[in-house]
Structure 1
Amino acid sequence: MSRRRPAALLTAALLVVGLAGCSGKAQTAERATVPGTPSVSATPAPRATTGTAPRTRFAVGVRELELNRDGNRPLPVTIWYPAAGPAGGGPEREATAADGAFPVVMFSHGLDAEPDDYAILLTRWAAAGFVVAAPTFPHTSRGADGNVLDVLNQPADVSYALTRVLALNDRAGDPLRGRLATDRVAAAGHSAGGVTTIGLFTAGRDERLDAGVVLAGTALGVGTAFAGTAAPQLFVHGELDEVVDYAAGRAAYDAVPWPKAMLSLTRGDHGRALLTDGDALRVVSDTTVEFLRWSLYGDAAAKRRIATEATRGGLGTLDDHL
């Protein structure tokens, strides 16, 4: 047996242990640790963007995009987007898009989950002026075969889906034609989706990405060799996470060589703060919105508000190196 084979088997075992129950529904998995080595290589500076993000809230539309990578990886994508009309209601299917060109955020769900599980959070991002596209992965979503190792294929899935989503901006007759800021893109994800997101900045680096948001994630399986143009990162992790140990998320965060911040929820667990409306979700949603306003719109005032939102109500602390 080659030397690579035992290493691959060990990685497989660690992924199964470390990512089981990512959706927050299964709460008994053992904790994971990150063995990655921080990257110390020099990276280009972040792409400069200066602007002002919308401060008024939008109505939200939602639609589905049926994709299939390589003919054997079905990737239905749910898209939430700013819509015309009064804000404040629930997402309206196939609503008319609002006027403007909006940055794109690619969101990756956790194991045994699906995009709709995160609808409260993702709808708030869309209402703040972002187009949020969330693929349903073929092997790790609810009702799939549960092949946890397929997480390692998901960064390529996201890059493929991003290409197809951005193409809508030029597609004649598409409701999102001319509504996408195709040069301002972020990736975000929860748990196994956080692994997927980190992978998009390491081995599977997608240079179109300007920023990342990692929710209860770890670098297990994708490593910490962050590469390419610097892209600011925001990590969010509960200190009482019972699935992905807080120390694992912290280790991945520490390895990021770019502008970064980490919101630590003092009493946060693995998923409920993201899946259930409440004070913790408001802290997470408001902090991530300000981060995205700064990193994608170039809104300097939003950057100053990140610390305020992260520490509101004393529910969390912020390590800020942005």
Structure 2
Amino acid sequence: MVGVLRRSLLALVATAGLAACTSEKPKEETPTSSPAPEKASPAPEKAEAGTSEFDLNRGGDRPLPTKVWLPATAGARPLIYFSHGLTSQPDDYAELLTAWQAAGFVVAAPKYPHTWHDAPEYNAGDIVNQPADAQFVITEVLKALPGRIDANRIAAAGHSAGAITTIGLFSGSRDERLKAGVLIAGRQMPQPAPFAGTPSPLLFVQGKLDETVTYEQAYGAYNEVTWPKGFLELPQGTHLPHRDQPAVVAATTTDFWHWTLDGDEAAKQKLPQDASSTGVAGLTSTF
């Protein structure tokens, strides 16, 4: 299975035009202290929101400096692991990741050693190694923050090549700790490994005008999923749907996290409404 995944990922890099998943530049970030979302259960204790940095390394040439966004909520909260796209880094997605943080989730995102924009030895084909990096980082962050993360509520998300990495975590490199996933501008490999393991809800987010990962490629991956799944379509969206319509993407994905990680059925019911609230997107799902 590893050999299939390696060949598939390398073929994808050669054919899908993923040389640059984003042109966004890192933005300066300041800690936030937004309140936890309203729930039927009593509100959890508050804590100081902010970020932490961890200098992780999976041995040899695989440094994985990881930024963690901590919410203003004390106690153990769900973890969302995020994978950036080629020539990108976590701070390029700060607007979306801080929205998840403000909703009460811990978010962890590393710089992959050979695919972020200032990598000393840039190599797009190295995405074949990123699912193993992801599993390592999740394990280390759990060790570092045992009182802040609920180890039974972990999810994964990613954009472009990061979404391909995330697909790996639900297929050929299945991580059974993952309860849900969000794939932004993501697609399956040319020789796909089937989605495997315990069924976990997946939400695809796709711009119909994306020329890097096409609508047809993304929808093809969606069709391969036999679990509960959703497809958030932005008709005027490009390869950066989270930047084209940040409010819609943030609201819909946050609903999804509250449902899948918090067990919030009201959030599940809000998904179609938040997806279509401004008329710029629509949701198809089997939820």
Indicate conservation of the 8 Å contact 1:113/1:141, yes or no. yes
1:183 maps to which residue?
Answer: 152
Whether 2:53 is the aligned partner of 1:61: answer: no
Tell me what 1:216 maps to. 185
1:169 deviation in Å? Answer: 3.4
Aligned pair 1:80/2:51, yes or no?
no
Matched residues in 1 for 2:221 and 2:65: separation? 29
Distance 1:146 1:54, change over 3 A: farther
Decide whether aligned partners of structure 1 residues 221 and 75 sit closer, same or farther in structure 2, where only a CA change above 3 A counts: farther
Name segments (4+ residues, structure 1) moved above 6 Å: 53-59
> Within the alignment, does 1:283 sit opposite 2:252 as a pair?
no
Distance 1:160 1:294, change over 3 A: same
Q: Distance in 2 between matches of 1:208 and 1:142?
A: 29
Query: Is the Cα contact below 8 Å between 2:22 and 2:86 reproduced in 1?
Result: yes
* C-alpha contact 1:112 1:142 (8 A) present in aligned 2: yes
Q: Which residue of 2 aligns with 1:226?
A: 195
- The answer for unaligned runs of 5 or more in structure 1 is 26-50, 84-97, 171-177
Q: Which has the higher contact order (CA 8 A, sep 6+)?
A: 1
Counterpart of 1:185, as a letter, is: I
TM-score, length basis structure 1? 0.78
Which has the higher Rg, Structure 1 or Structure 2?
1
Corresponding position of 2:233: 264
Tell me by how many angstroms 1:202 deviates. 0.3
Gaps of 5+ in 2: 25-39
- Is 1:274 paired with 2:242? yes
How far 1:54 sits from its partner (Å)?
A: 6.5
Deviations 1:16-49 (A, max 9, x none): 3312221246xxxxxxxxxxxxxxxxxxxxxxxx
Percent identity (aligned): 46
Deviation at 1:243, TM superposition (A): 1.0
Partner residue in 2 for 1:36: none
Residue 168 and residue 12 in structure 1: after superposition, are their counterparts in 2 closer, same or farther (change >3 A)? Answer: closer
TM-score normalised by length of structure 2: 0.87
Classify 1:166/1:221 alpha carbon distance in 2 versus 1 (closer, same or farther; 3 Å): farther
Matched residue type, 2:140: R
Q: How many matched pairs?
A: 267
Whether the 8 Å CA contact 2:47–2:74 is kept in 1: the answer is: no
Query: Residue 105 in 1 paired to residue 80 in 2?
Result: yes
**RMSD (Å) for aligned C-alpha atoms:** 2.4
Residue 19 of structure 2 corresponds to which residue in structure 1? 20
Tell me if the contact between 2:87 and 2:117 (Cα under 8 Å) persists in the aligned partners. yes
Q: Distance in 2 between matches of 1:231 and 1:53?
A: 27
